[in-house]
Structures are given as structure tokens and as C-alpha cells.
Amino acid sequence: MAKILIVDDERPIRHTLRDILEFEKYTVEEAEDGVGCLTKLKKGKFDAIIMDIKMPNMDGLEALDRVRILAPDTPVIMISGHANIDTAVEAVKKGAYDFISKPPDLNRLLITVRNALDKSNLITETKVLKKKVAKQSTPEMIGDSEGITKIKETIDQVAKTDARVLVTGPNGTGKELVARWLHEKSNRNDKPLIEVNCAAIPSELIESELFGHEKGSFTSAHKQRLGKFELAHGGTLFLDEIGDMSQSAQAKVLRALQESRITRVGGDKEIPVDVRVVAATNKDLRDEINKGNFREDLYHRLAVIIIQVPALNERRSDIPMLTTHFTSQICGEYGMAAKKITEEALKALQEVNWTGNIRELRNVVERLVILSGKEITKEDVEQYVTPSAARLEDSLKQLFSRFDSLEEVTKFVEETYKKYNN
């Protein structure tokens, strides 16, 4: 049953309200003033609070401000025998759920309590659902190769801390997925994960994007805008392709990491921010430092933990598992019956040179799902996928078997080239 806190300096009022609420099967606790309310709130959670305005030591409006900090989702019903419209408006502006005059109409009070509890339950359910959706929207990290197993173990070790992480690896390997799981398994997962692709934003706009700007700070700044650091407050900021960030933006990011404060473009007010930064790059930042393109002090700030994501060619044992997963996923997206993929087809895919890594593999699987028959065969792979090394080797063997010398092969290739380019 719901737990309700009654805060009033008048004992008879508290006892009357307690009797009524306990008759309705609510669990009730009492406090004599705002200080007592806050003390109770620090010790335990309440589903609703009924609080008087005029009280000694700390009045209801002052206590309301602090309740909103300690328990922002707990509905507070204000009551007062000295009520006027201004007081009621002020209470609601401060975040009170409702305002009732003394002596309270008991029927109205009970209805208000029920509605407040319904709202509290909806807020709780919404948070749970959002968390479930967030978990479902984070794709599974597929694979049991040594490299992927090590990454999963590192994520489990590091996620609960606020240590900054630098994720490195070639394009298409899944660096963003690593960042998402670091956030998902952290204590910040009920706050936002804000992603910024530093390579996709023009250098002259990156500072405004990260730190926000004040109205009129430049020609197109028609209104104030919050930057990604502010939007990620309490959560995680993922800086993708950080190796492409401009030098001036690097200096500001370094300051933000050092001081946990930012200043909007065109502003002079320092704004405190609490963010956990995860960065990613496909570049060798050590090499970029030597070239003068990246700040060494920023590198050391970001690279507290380094996670290297291997290329797909380095984890070929994961290809069958990845292919099966993508096949099932894509068939579902297209509303198609699940397609089986043969062992020979999986082996053929393991022989392909995957320069585009996981991203390329998924595209290839989608192509095979669309163009193949009831099952995906080795012949489908040979027909619709870039020729594998084994297939190329077979072609060369057939070519050399037709001639007696390398000169004859060279002559044939030259003549064929001229034939198809004239």
C-alpha cells in the first residue's frame, strides 16, 4: 500500500488526516515541520506528501523547494488555513501537485491523493519502460572470439566508473556499440547518451555544437542554444571521430574535462557540467600528435582506458555467428520467412577480405537475403559477394593451365584488356 507523509505543526490536523488515510489502507507517517519532513525523506521513500504552509522552523514553501531536490518525482499536496490565490499560485509554480484550503474537504482530499498517487505510479512505470526500451535498442555485441571477449570483460570492469574511455579501431568495426554498452552498464544509464560525430560537423560550428551559444553571438544565432555538454549533463557524451576535431575545439574540450565547466559561444557565464566522456577514432592519435594535428594533453585526458576494437579480418571465427544474427534480423525487418544459410556459404564468407568490417558484412548479408532462394548457398556467395581469395586463386589456376609460359599469359591479358577497352 502507498506510503504517505503528513507534515503539519497542528497535532489534531495530523491525527485527523492519519485516521482518514489509514481507514483507506494507506501507510502514514508524521512530521511537525519542514525540517522534520526532510529528515523523514532522507531516511525513506514516500509515495506522496501532504504538507502545511505555515509552520515553525521551516515553512512549507521552503521545504517544498528542498523536497523537489531530494525526491523530484514525489507529489506534494499543499494545505493551508491562511490561503489566498497568490500563495496557491506560488506553491504550484514551485512544483506542488495541488493546493487545498483548511479545513480540507475530505472527499476532495482523498480524490487528490488518489490522483497524485496515480501520477506517481505513471512516472515510475514510464521510467522503467524507458529503461527497458533503451536496453532493447542497444544491439547485442555478437561474437566469442578472443578480441570481443576481452572487450566485453573490459566494459564490465570500466562501465561502473566515471573513467574516460578512448575506443579505437577501423571504420565499421562497432566502436559506437562499445560506447553504448559503456553507457548502458554505467550508473548513468537513466540519463542521456549524447552522440557527436566530430567529422560530420564543420570546424566553424563544432564549438557551438559542443558548448552551445548565446543569442546574437554570431550572425545565425537567433536564439540561445544548449550544447551537447549541457544536454549530456548527468549522462555520457560520446565524441565520435575525435581525431577530426579542430585545434580550437580541442582546447575547449580539454578545459571542460579539466574543470567540469563550459562557457557558451558568445557568453561569459561558466556552466558546471557533469558528463562521462567516451571518445572514438579510426586514426592513430599518437601519429596525429607527432604531426601536430592533435593535442597530447587532450589525448592523455581521454585515454584513461583504451579499448581497441579488432577488424573483422582479425576475428573471422565470429563471422558465422554474425551472419546468422544478421540473416535473422534482416528477414524479420522485411517480413520474410527465416532463411537458412549453409555451412559452405558461411565458410565462403569467412574467406572474404572484409575491408568494410561489420558494416560491410551486414550489407552483404542483406544482399544475400534479398537475392537468394529459400536458403543462402555457397553459390549465392560466389555470385553476389566480392570474389573471395579462394575463388580468385581457382580462376588463376584455370588461366595458367591454358598456356605454356608466363609470356603467353601476359600476352593474352594484354589482348583481352585492349579488346574490352577499345
374-410 burial, b if ≥16 CB within 10 A, otherwise e?
Answer: eebbbebbeeebebbeebeeeeeeeeeeeeeeeeeee
Give the tens place of pLDDT for each residue, 20-43. Answer: 999 999 999 999 999 999 999 988
DSSP secondary structure letters along 76-132:
EEEEESS--HHHHHHHHHTT-SEEEESSPPHHHHHHHHHHHHHHHHHHHHHHHHHHH
Average the pLDDT over 144-161 and give the result.
95
Residue 421: per-residue pLDDT? 59
Is the model's pLDDT at 388 over the cut of 50? Answer: no
Give the tens place of pLDDT for each residue, 327-352. Answer: 999 998 888 888 999 999 999 999 99
CA dihedral of residues 232, 303, 283, 315 (deg, nearest 10): -100
> Model confidence at 272, in pLDDT bands (50, 70, 90)?
very high
pLDDT over 90 for what percent of the chain?
Answer: 58
Which CATH superfamily hosts domain 143-310? P-loop containing nucleotide triphosphate hydrolases (3.40.50.300)
* 407 Cβ contact list (under 8 Å, min separation 6): none
* 59 Cβ contact list (under 8 Å, min separation 6): 34, 53
For residue 317, give the DSSP letter. Answer: G
Residue ranges, comma separated, of all CATH 3.40.50.2300 domains in the chain are 3-131
For residue 18, give the DSSP letter. Answer: H
Fold assignment, 3-131? Rossmann fold (3.40.50)
Residue ranges, comma separated, of all CATH 1.10.8.60 domains in the chain are 313-386
Give the tens place of pLDDT for each residue, 187-216. Answer: 999 999 999 999 888 877 888 889 988 887
Give the tens place of pLDDT for each residue, 49-102. Answer: 999 988 988 888 899 989 988 888 899 999 987 767 777 888 888 889 998 888
What is the rounded CA–CA span in Å between residue 52 and residue 58?
11
Give the tens place of pLDDT for each residue, 291-311. Answer: 999 999 999 999 999 999 999
Lowest mean pLDDT among 69-73, 114-118, 183-187, 396-400: 396-400
Residue ranges, comma separated, of all CATH 3.40.50.300 domains in the chain are 143-310
Is the model's pLDDT at 422 over the cut of 70? Answer: no
What the block records as the C-alpha cell of 390 is 579462394
Is the model's pLDDT at 387 over the cut of 60? Answer: no
What the block records as the C-alpha cell of 241 is 571521430
Average the pLDDT over 276-285 and give the result.
96
> Model confidence at 130, in pLDDT bands (50, 70, 90)?
low
CB atoms within 10 A of CB 122: 10
User: Which is more confidently placed, 160 or 267?
Assistant: 160
- Beta carbons of 7 and 48 less than 8 angstroms apart: no
- How many residues in the chain? 422
For residue 44, give the DSSP letter. Answer: S
Residue 153: per-residue pLDDT? 96
Mean residue pLDDT of the chain comes to 88
Residue 397: per-residue pLDDT? 66
* 158 Cβ contact list (under 8 Å, min separation 6): 165, 182, 305
User: Which is more confidently placed, 124 or 314?
Assistant: 314
Class of domain 313-386 (CATH, top level): mainly alpha
- Beta carbons of 171 and 223 less than 8 angstroms apart: no
Q: Is the dihedral of CA 217, 218, 223, 225 positive or negative?
A: negative
What is the rounded CA–CA span in Å between residue 386 and residue 266?
52
- pTM reported for the whole predicted model: 0.61
What the block records as the C-alpha cell of 389 is 581469395
